[in-house]
Structure 1
Amino acid sequence: MKNLVLTLSIVFLSLSAFAQKRSDFKGPAYKNYKPWLHKNEVTLVYTVSQKTKLTGPAYKNYKPWQNKSEKTYTPISFVSKRSKLTGPAYKNYKPWRKDNT
């Protein structure tokens, strides 16, 4: 029994030790790393649109495995006009104004 507990504790400790991503850089290479010089892959984020909200007896009697309707996914975009601005126009950007360009 003691061996089993000891083995499980070692496994859990080793899993938690290797769960964190280790950086490849150390020392001056880590200090002088410039993330904007390296390109990252863009991943699209989707959301399900128009979910039906059931309440009461309809929710209680809902059978998800009988639902044959197709889900529609819409991509979420994080593009704003402010990201294209520089200098004083970026600093003085007011999102509540409709005429910002």
Structure 2
Amino acid sequence: MKTLIVTFVIAFMSLSLSAQKRSDLTGPAYKNYKPWLHDNEPTAVYSIAKKENLTGPERKNEKPWENKTDKIYTSINFGSDKNKLTGPAFKNYKPWRKNKS
């Protein structure tokens, strides 16, 4: 029984160690790697635009297989106008006073 448990523990440990992503670089090449010299393609991130929030009896009696609504996806944009500001304008930036123009 003990050998069976030890075997399972060793197998689990070896699987968890091999699941990690390994880098091809080792030694001085790994130490001197400069990520800004290599081009990485940005990944687009999407979110569901609007979901219908049901509450009460409507939520309880909802049948997921009868819901035929199409999901509308919108892209998520990172960054803001605040990133372009410096000095007192950055310090006094108020996001609720954005210009709608």
Q: Which runs of 5+ in 1 are unaligned?
A: none
Once superposed, what is the RMSD of the aligned Cα atoms? 2.5
Q: Which runs of 5+ in 2 are unaligned?
A: none
Question: 3-state SS of the aligned residue for 2:75?
Answer: strand
Q: Residues 71 and 52 of structure 1: is their aligned pair in 2 closer, same or farther, counting only changes over 3 Å?
A: same
- Aligned identity (percent) is 54
**Deviations along 1:45-79, whole A, 9 cap, x unmatched?**
00001111111111100111100110000011114
State the TM-score, normalized to the length of structure 2.
Answer: 0.74
Other-structure match for 1:17: 17
C-alpha distance in structure 2 between counterparts of 1:71 and 1:65, whole Å: 14
Letter in 2 for 1:32: N
Alpha-carbon distance, 1:16 to partner: 1.2
Paired residues, number: 94
State the TM-score, normalized to the length of structure 1.
Answer: 0.74
Letter in 2 for 1:49: A
Which range moves more in the overlay, 50-59 or 22-31? Answer: 22-31
Alpha-carbon distance, 1:25 to partner: 1.5
Other-structure match for 2:63: 63
Letter in 2 for 1:71: K
